[in-house]
Amino acid sequence: MANDCFARSPRCHAPDTALDPAPGPARPPVPVADPAAWLAADLAGDPGWVHRLDGHEVHELDRAVEVVLSRGLGPGGFGRDDFPLTHLADRIAGWARDLDQGRGVVLVKGLDPARYDDDALAALYWGLAVHLGEPVPQNADGDLIGRVRDTGRDYGAKNVRGYTTRAEMRAHCDAADVVGLLCRHPAMRGGESRIASGIAIYNHLAAERPDLIAPLLEGFHFDLRGEGVTDDPDETTFHRVPVFSWFEGRLSCRYNGKTIEDGMTKRGMALTGLALEAVREVGRLALEPPFRFDMTFEKGDIQLLCNHSILHARGGFEDWPEARAPARPVAALAEPARRTGRWRRRSPIG
């Protein structure tokens, strides 16, 4: 269930003060040096975050898929040892390092999804995920691979998850260490991914609007969208989740403007004044130059993002007409959440 994520976070119930590595008199915020503090021009100018699979690596994946399918195993039913990779395992470990300690962004290209049926592609994706970390669900249904598609739901309605709609989505982080998205089919129109570095946004605020930092450090009660442990549709996080926090000397970001505003309203503490301005300013900056970087997916692209440093948003899209037909179970995009055992640090889950 969704709150598996919360339960596993060793710091999710810690008092807020434990999140500050330097308790004592308040100090003015200062910009931090971090490889994840990139601007859009930095990503555009250095393609080191784009990884193309070569023929040998695709062959390695194909063999591993054959192994698990021949054993009748599918997503959720096998782990790293069941999905034999050699050379590619080292490369995936490099992606994990880039996500945690580098730019926080990885794009994997070179897969042709047309070569796989739905079961094989899902097994391949799951196999990559278990080599990258420990997959965790992101919704109350316990789905480990979510289908991103237009189900006709209204994003503005209470407790509707954005990935089930065609709506433009505000900048946010997901509730796992890493979120991945495999593009099975691009949308008919729109749906581009918009990403920005939360660390770079912090640096900007520290320099230009340091007054907004304090409410962001104090944090907010995030809306749990009816997916909390109590099944109460109005449940919010018990504790305040800071938008910016420190862990082992590193800055982390945990942001979702919609669930922050909805959560505080449900809590009877609707945001006003400086706190509201601070929340909206983070979301606004994430979608504007020089922070926002747009990615348009091609078939087979896999985007991996570190949720502790990178915010993502999505343009509204129009799905292919057949994507909503029941006979086509795998729709436009799939998005599993992943938690890696090596990720000890960083922000509590929002």
- Min CB(299)–Fe ion separation in Å: 21
Q: Which residue is nearest to Fe ion (CB)?
A: 174
For 77, list phi and psi in degrees, rounded to 5.
-110, 0
Which of residues 179 and 212 has its CB atom nearest to Fe ion in the complex? 179
- Min CB(256)–Fe ion separation in Å: 8
Which of residues 53 and 310 has its CB atom nearest to Fe ion in the complex? 310
Q: Pattern of binders to Fe ion over 127-166, x per CB under 5 A?
A: ----------------------------------------
Q: Could you give the CA distance from residue 261 to residue 315 in angstroms, rounded to a whole number?
A: 21
- Min CB(221)–Fe ion separation in Å: 20
Does 262 contact Fe ion by CB under 5 A?
Answer: no
Which of residues 120 and 225 has its CB atom nearest to Fe ion in the complex? 225
Show the tokens assigned to 137. Answer: 């669900």
# residues contacting Fe ion (CB under 5 A): 1
- Min CB(174)–Fe ion separation in Å: 4
- Residues 166-205 binding Fe ion (CB under 5 A) are 174
**Sequence-distant (≥ 6) Cβ neighbours of residue 300 within 8 angstroms:** 109, 110, 111, 112, 113, 182, 183
**Sequence-distant (≥ 6) Cβ neighbours of residue 213 within 8 angstroms:** 29, 202, 205, 206, 244, 278
Q: Could you give the CA distance from residue 215 to residue 274 in angstroms, rounded to a whole number?
A: 8
Q: Is the peptide bond before 290 cis (omega within 30 degrees of 0)?
A: yes
Which of residues 174 and 223 has its CB atom nearest to Fe ion in the complex? 174
- Min CB(1)–Fe ion separation in Å: 18
> 5, 136 in Cβ contact below 8 A?
yes
- Min CB(295)–Fe ion separation in Å: 14
Binding residues for Fe ion (CB under 5 A) = 174
